[in-house]
Structure 1
Amino acid sequence: MTLRVARHTNDLKRIEDFYVNVLGFEQLGEFQNHNNYSGIFIGKSGLDWHFEFTQSESEAKHIFDEDDVIVLYPKAMSDYNGLINKLVHLNISTITAANPFWNENGKMIQDPDGYRIVISPLKAVISEIE
């Protein structure tokens, strides 16, 4: 099974810059003016999932609460520390998560649309499962 998480945005270029240049994903593809939508596919090559971000003349209406989060687990602690250091260097602020687990096991940031993203060491997910 392949997973695609699709979301509409009002600023496709800003979203692409954030997910590619800040978080380190790749642009896997794009399309222009397909039924009045333009979009990009963001993810990692060779995996069975990706994000699709679209933009059109219709304004995006983002409705979410503080527990709606995307969780990213870098595979190695060095990857986690490198990403956190990059966020600090780029002056991307962390925010407090509503769920205390994420405050204890990672850092929460927001993407340009305001969606919350948790970056957590892989050891946190292993301890959840065990």
Structure 2
Amino acid sequence: MTDASSLPFPDGVAVAQVRVARPTDKLDEVVRFYRDGLGLPVIARFEDHAGYDGVMLGLPGHAYHLEFTRHRDGSPCPAPSHDNLLVLYVPEEGSFEALRKRIEALGARPVAPENPYWIDKSLTYEDPDGWRVVLCRTSGLAAR
């Protein structure tokens, strides 16, 4: 299997950052889920930018993060199918258990995954908007 981190971006295009952004009407609850439950630090926030408030969470020093926005007129955001997942691959059992305890301390409980692939190696949780996050054990597995 080829190590994807060694492959160049197609056509030599330079991409400096990846941000996954989505709206929510539950900004405070969603931020609490990802910040307090998953331990992702807030790396930026803004208020009333053209009617939007937003918070970016991510891993400091990495060029990828999540952005959640709320519009003053509302941000209807129906959750996608149960197969739309944010997957966090966790290499150490101690770290996996620490994340599980953090997220469950907020009241989140595992839900059954749609795809049975995740059953024996992970736990799936829903954020306050119903979007799913998978904590996947990687000990003994190759990250896919």
Are 2:36 and 2:103, in contact at CA under 8 Å, matched by a contact in 1? no
Does 96-105 or 46-55 show the bigger shift?
96-105
How high is the TM-score relative to the length of structure 2?
0.81
Inter-CA distance 54–125: structure 2 relative to 1 (3 Å threshold): farther
Paired position in structure 2 for 1:92: 108
Structure 1: distance between partners of 2:93 and 2:105: 18
Change beyond 3 A, Cα 1:15–1:89: closer
| 1:26 equivalent among 29, 37, 41 | 41
Misfit runs of 4+, over 6 Å: none
Aligned mates of 2:115, 2:139 — CA distance in 1? 18
TM-score computed with the length of structure 1 as normaliser: 0.89
Aligned residues with identical type, % of pairs: 27
Q: How far apart, CA to CA, are the structure 2 residues paired with 1:11 and 1:62?
A: 12
- Figure out how many residues of one structure are paired with residues of the other and give that number: 128
Residue 35 of structure 1 pairs with residue 54 of structure 2: no
Match of 1:107 in 2: 123
User: Helix, strand or coil: the match of 1:73?
Assistant: strand
Contact (CA 8 Å) 1:106, 1:121: kept in 2 or not? yes
Would you say the 8 A contact 2:18–2:64 is kept in 1? yes
RMSD across aligned positions (CA): 1.7
Letter in 2 for 1:80: F
For residues 120 and 99 of structure 1, what CA distance do their matches in structure 2 show?
13
Shift of 1:49: 0.1
The aligned counterpart of 1:68 is 84
Q: Mean alpha-carbon deviation: is it higher for 40-49 or for 62-71? A: 62-71
Contact (CA 8 Å) 1:105, 1:124: kept in 2 or not? no
Q: What runs of 5+ residues in structure 1 fail to find an aligned partner?
A: none
Structure 2 distance, partners of 1:4, 1:116, is: 17
